Structure 1
Amino acid sequence: MNYNDNYNPSISDEDVFIEILKEKEHIGYYNLAHQDTTSFKEYAKGVKQSNVVVMGIGGSTLGTYAIYKFLKHSKELSKHLYFLETTDPIDIQSKLEGIDLEDTLFIVISKSGTTVETISIFKYIHSLVKIDKTNTLIITEHDSKLNTYAKANDMQTFEIPKNVGGRFSVFSAVGLVPLAIVGIDIDELLRGTKEVHDSFFYKEAEYKRILKKARFFVEYKNSFNINVVFSYSSRLEGFNKWYIQLWGESLGKVDINKTNQGLTPVGIIGPIDQHSFLQLIVEGKRDKTVTVVKVDNFYNHLKIPPVKLKGLEELDYLDNIEFSSLINKQADATIESINNLGDIPCDVISIDGVTEYAIASLMYEYELLTSVCAKFMYIDAYNQPGVESGKIILKNKLKKK
Structure 2
Amino acid sequence: MSLKLEVKTEIKLDYQGFQNQINEFHSRINDKNSPDINFLGWNNFPEVAINPQEIARMRKIVENLHQNSINVLVVIGIGGSYLGAKAALDFILGLGPFENKPEVIFLGNSLSSTDLYQKIEYLKTKNFAINVISKSGSTIEPAITFQILYQFLIDQIGEKLAKTRTFVTTSIKSGELLEIAKSNELEIFEVIESIGGRFSVLSSVGFFPLLFAKINVDEIIQGAIEAHKRYSTSSISQNLAYKYALFRFLMYKNFNYKTEILISYEPFLIYFNEWWKQLFGESEGKNLKGLFPASAIFTTDLHSLGQFIQDGSKNFFQTIIYIKKPKFDLGIKKLVQFNTKINKLSGKTVSEINFQAFLATTLAHSSYGNNPNLVLEIADSSPKTFGHLVMFFEKACAMSAYLLGVNPFDQPGVESYKNELAKNLGWDR
Please confirm whether the aligned pair reaches a TM-score higher than 0.5, indicating the same fold.
Answer: yes
Q: 1:177 aligns with which of 185, 191, 208?
A: 208
**In 1: Cα distance, 2:372 partner to 2:316 partner:** 8
Equivalent pairs, count:
395
> 1:15 is matched with which residue?
24
Residues 365, 371 of structure 2: 8 Å contact kept = yes
**In 1: Cα distance, 2:235 partner to 2:51 partner:** 25
**In 2: Cα distance, 1:64 partner to 1:206 partner:** 32
> 2:112 is matched with which residue?
88
> 1:155 is matched with which residue?
186
> 1:257 is matched with which residue?
none
Shift of residue 325, structure 1, vs aligned partner = 1.9
Mean CA deviation greater in 3-12 or 165-174: 3-12
CA RMSD in angstroms, aligned pairs only: 2.3
Mean CA deviation greater in 383-392 or 3-12: 3-12
**In 1: Cα distance, 2:308 partner to 2:289 partner:** 24
**Unmatched runs of 5 consecutive residues or more in structure 1:** 255-259
**In 2: Cα distance, 1:46 partner to 1:215 partner:** 43
**In 2: Cα distance, 1:253 partner to 1:399 partner:** 28
Shift of residue 283, structure 1, vs aligned partner = 1.6
Opposite residue 106 of structure 2, the aligned amino acid is: F
> 2:328 is matched with which residue?
300
Residues 265, 321 of structure 2: 8 Å contact kept = yes
Residues 266, 297 of structure 2: 8 Å contact kept = yes
> 1:109 is matched with which residue?
133
Classify the secondary structure of the residue corresponding to 2:177.
helix
| TM-score, with length taken from structure 1 | 0.92
Q: 1:156 to 1:32 in 2, by over 3 A?
A: farther
Residues 210, 217 of structure 2: 8 Å contact kept = yes
Opposite residue 50 of structure 1, the aligned amino acid is: N
Q: 1:237 aligns with which of 270, 285, 289?
A: 270
Shift of residue 88, structure 1, vs aligned partner = 0.3
Opposite residue 110 of structure 1, the aligned amino acid is: S
Residues 233, 269 of structure 1: 8 Å contact kept = yes
Q: State yes or no: 1:252 paired with 2:258.
A: no
Question: Percent identity over the alignment?
Answer: 27
Opposite residue 129 of structure 1, the aligned amino acid is: L
Shift of residue 204, structure 1, vs aligned partner = 7.2
Residues 137, 175 of structure 2: 8 Å contact kept = yes
Opposite residue 306 of structure 1, the aligned amino acid is: K
**In 2: Cα distance, 1:333 partner to 1:162 partner:** 46
> 2:92 is matched with which residue?
71
Shift of residue 218, structure 1, vs aligned partner = 1.8
Residues 237, 243 of structure 2: 8 Å contact kept = no
Deviations 1:344-393, CA, capped at 9 Å, x for gaps: 22111122112111122222211111111111011111111111011111
**In 2: Cα distance, 1:36 partner to 1:360 partner:** 16
Residues 87, 269 of structure 2: 8 Å contact kept = yes
Q: 2:418 aligns with which of 386, 391, 399?
A: 391
Residues 72, 128 of structure 2: 8 Å contact kept = yes
**In 2: Cα distance, 1:327 partner to 1:36 partner:** 40
> 1:133 is matched with which residue?
163
**In 2: Cα distance, 1:400 partner to 1:54 partner:** 24
> 1:198 is matched with which residue?
229
**In 1: Cα distance, 2:6 partner to 2:113 partner:** 44
Q: State yes or no: 1:122 paired with 2:127.
A: no
